[in-house]
Structure 1
Amino acid sequence: MTAAPTIEPALLAILVCPATRTPLRLDAEACELVSDAAGLAYPIRDGVPVLLAEAARRVR
């Protein structure tokens, strides 16, 4: 079982969705950063957010 990712609150506060430039929220259970505005979830791999459109999955 993999531990839930942790992202420093200060880092999370400055990360934005590359598509919409809106804030991201952490979904620790899914290991993703979610952009509610874009309907995209960006993976967190080995503790590093992958903020690339081609790596994101659609959510809604």
Structure 2
Amino acid sequence: MDLIGAEWRKSSRSGSSGGQCVEVAVNLPDVVAVRDSKDPGGPVLVVGSEAWRRFLRFAR
């Protein structure tokens, strides 16, 4: 999947101490991408938009 146009944002739950940080790109068509902000060139988890919405409802 081409993630060149992904607009990444850091989770509001990520601390400022540089610990465990997650970035999410929600501007991609029909999918959401998630990555570790400390390793932006590393692996990316890509899930469908509806699956992401269900995950957020469960996590809250």
Q: Same fold (TM over 0.5)?
A: no
Normalising TM by the smaller chain, what interval? 0.3 to 0.5
TM-score, scaled to structure 2: 0.36
TM-score, scaled to structure 1: 0.36
Larger-gyration structure (1/2): 2
